[in-house]
Amino acid sequence: MSKSIQSVRGTHDILPDQSARWQAFEAIVRQTMQTYGYREIRTPVLESTDLFCRSIGEVTDIVEKEMYTFADRNGDSLTLRPEGTASCVRAGIQHGLLHNQTQRLWYTGPMFRHERPQKGRYRQFHQFGVEAYGISTPDIDAELILMGARLWRALQLKDIRLELNSLGSVAARANYRAVLVEYFQSHHDQLDEDSRNRLTTNPLRILDSKNPDMQALNNAAPSLLEYLDEESAREFDVLKLILDTAGIAYTVNPRLVRGLDYYCKTVFEWVTDQLGAQGTICAGGRYDGLVAQLGGRETPAIGFALGIERLLALQEQSSGQMITDDVDVYMLLQGEGSELKGLLLAENLRNELPGLKLLTHCGGGSFKSQMKKADRSGAALALILGEAEIRAAQVAVKFLRDKTEQQLIAESELINFIRINI
Ligand code: ATP
Ligand code: MG
C-alpha cells in the first residue's frame, strides 16, 4: 500500500463532530450582525501581494516572514490573504462603497500565515471580522466594543477582558516614536535582536514584543498616553465614558500597539488567561489613513478581527458543553419493498414537518445492526418499517431514550405522532 497523503502542516480538517460548534458560532454571528445593521462582504482568498505590502506594512511579522506568496503561471505575485481588512478596503475602493457614505461590513473565512504551529496558532486559521467606514467619532468605536461584549454573552464565554489604548494621531505617533527611540537607544544593550532591528524600522513594535526578557524594559518605557494629541485624548475620553456607563470593564494598556502598521487612535484587544500563551481572542482598532494609503479618498475606518479557533477552544473549555447536531428520527428499513416505501414516506415527513431531522437507513443489514446505528445517531425516535408494517399501513415506533413501550402507529397518524413527540 502506498503512503497516504496528510494535511499540510499547520492546517486542520474541521471534522463532522466539530462542525456543529462552528455552525452554532456562525449562526450567532450572523444574527448579531443583523441586529446591528452590518452586512456581509465576501472577498477572494487570493490577492495581489502588493495589497498586503502596502497596507499591513513592509516591516511587520506578517509581511516579512509569514505570507504565503507565490508567482502564478503568468508570473504575477499573489498572496493567500493573511487577514481581512486590506481586502475589505480594496473591495470598498474598487466598487465605490466608501466615498461619501458609511459602510458597516462583516466577513468571515480562512486566513493564511506561515507561523510556527502550536496550540492556538495555525497556518490556516479562520477569522470573523467587522469593519465600519466613514465614521470618525468615537461612538462607532464604542459600538464595536459593545458588539464584542454582546457576542461573548451570546456565546456564553467568560473570563475575557478588554484592553484598550489610543495611539493618537499620525503626528502624535511620530512625536512619541522619537521619544521611544531615544529611550531604547539609551538601553541598547538590553534589546533583543528583533528589537534592535525594529529600532530603526518600526520602534513602536518593540513594545509588542512577546519576549519575556523584554518585559521589564518595555514596562519602564515612556507611556504613549502622555504624548497623545488633544483630539485623540478627547475622543478616548468619550469612548471610556460610554464604556463606563454601559458597564463594560476595561484596562488601559499604554503598551498595546498592535502588530500592524495601519492603526491610529483607538486600539483594543479582548484577552483571556484560559488559553495559555495564545490568549488574544479578538483585536482591532482605528485605521483612518489606510483607505487613502491604498488609493481611495480619506475615509475614517475602524474594525476588529477575532480568531475563531481560539474562541471555540475557549468556549469548549469554559462550558465543557458538547454542541451536537443529532437527528430527531432514524428510520429502519427491513425486508422486501421497504426501501421504496420508506424513502417515499421519509420524503413526505420532510414535506409535512419542516425542520424535522430524519435519517433514513440505507444499505440494508440486520435489524440488530440497524438498531445499533439508530441508537448511535442520537435520535429520540426510531421508525421501523418492515414487511408486516407495510402490509398493515402502519409504522412501528420505538422511543430510543426512555422506556416507553414500542407502539404501532397507523401511517395516517404518523405526522401527528411525530409532531407531538419530537
Ligand atoms: P498574535 O499576537 O497572537 O500573533 P496577531 O496580532 O498576529 O495575533 P491579528 O492579526 O490581530 O493577530 O488577528 C486577529 C486574531 O486572529 C488574533 O487575535 C487571534 O485570535 C487570531 N489569530 C492570529 N494569528 C493566528 C494564527 N496563526 N492562528 C490562529 N489564530 C490566529
Ligand atoms: Mg501574529
Beta strands in 114-194 (DSSP E): 124-133, 160-166
Element (H, E) at 66: none
CB distance 310 to ligand 1 below 6 Å: yes
Grid cell at residue 376: 448511535
3-class DSSP state for residue 54?
helix
Query: Within 10 A of 2 (CB to CB), how many other CB atoms are there?
Result: 4
Nearest ligand to residue 123 Cα? 1
How do beta strands 39-40 and 251-252 pair? Answer: unpaired
Grid cell at residue 86: 486590506
pLDDT tens, 227-245? 999 999 999 999 999 999 9
CB distance 305 to ligand 1 below 6 Å: yes
Nearest ligand to residue 113 Cα? 1
For position 260, what pLDDT does the model report? Answer: 66
pLDDT tens, 34-81? 999 999 999 999 999 999 999 988 878 899 899 999 999 999 999 999
CA dist 46 to 65, 68, 87, Å?
18, 10, 9
- How remote is the CA of residue 307 from the centroid of ligand 1, in Å? 6
In whole angstroms, give the CA distance from residue 278 to residue 13.
20
Phi and psi angles of residue 243, each rounded to the nearest 5 degrees, phi first: -65, -45
Q: Are 32 and 151 in contact (CB under 8 A)?
A: yes
Q: Whose CA is nearest to atom 10 of ligand 1?
A: 83
pLDDT tens, 106-150? 999 999 999 999 999 999 999 999 999 999 999 999 999 999 999
CB distance 268 to ligand 1 below 6 Å: no
3-class DSSP state for residue 99?
coil
pTM of the model: 0.92
CB distance 143 to ligand 1 below 6 Å: no
Would the pLDDT of 210 be above 90?
A: no
Q: Which residues of 90-119 are buried (b: 16+ CB within 10 A; e: fewer)?
A: bbbbeeebbeeeebbbbbbbebbbbbeeee
Mean pLDDT to the nearest integer, 331-339: 94
For position 116, what pLDDT does the model report? Answer: 96
CB distance 261 to ligand 1 below 6 Å: no
CB distance 307 to ligand 1 below 6 Å: yes
Among the atoms of ligand 1, which is closest to the Cα of residue 120?
A: 29
Q: Any idea what DSSP says for residue 12?
A: -
Grid cell at residue 267: 486600539
- Our mutation pick for probing the ligand 1 site, out of 278, 306, 314, counting the most ligand atoms within 8 A of Cβ, is 278
User: DSSP assignment of 277-329, as one string?
Assistant: T--EEEEEEE-TTHHHHTTS----EEEEEEEHHHHHHHHHHHH--------SE
Q: Whose CA is nearest to atom 25 of ligand 1?
A: 121
Nearest residue to 397 via CA among 344, 326, 341, 328:
328
For position 373, what pLDDT does the model report? Answer: 97
CB distance 160 to ligand 1 below 6 Å: no
3-class DSSP state for residue 393?
coil
Mean pLDDT to the nearest integer, 315-334: 90
CB distance 283 to ligand 1 below 6 Å: yes
pLDDT tens, 369-398? 999 999 999 999 999 999 999 999 999 999
- How remote is the CA of residue 392 from the centroid of ligand 1, in Å? 62
In whole angstroms, give the CA distance from residue 384 to residue 352.
19
Among the atoms of ligand 1, which is closest to the Cα of residue 269?
A: 18
Query: Within 10 A of 225 (CB to CB), how many other CB atoms are there?
Result: 17
CB distance 280 to ligand 1 below 6 Å: yes
**Signed CA dihedral, 283, 288, 293, 299: sign only:** positive
In whole angstroms, give the CA distance from residue 404 to residue 398.
8
Those residues whose C-beta lies under 8 Å from the C-beta of residue 68, and which sit 6 or more positions away, are 79, 80, 82, 112, 113, 114
Phi and psi angles of residue 381, each rounded to the nearest 5 degrees, phi first: -125, 140
Q: Any idea what DSSP says for residue 335?
A: S
User: DSSP assignment of 171-212, as one string?
Assistant: HHHHHHHHHHHHHHHTTGGG--HHHHHHHHH-GGGGGG---G
- Burial status of residue 238 (CB atoms within 10 A of its CB: 0-12, 13-18, 19 or more): middle
For position 213, what pLDDT does the model report? Answer: 92
**pLDDT tier at 259 (50, 70, 90 boundaries)?**
low
Percent above pLDDT 90 for the chain:
84
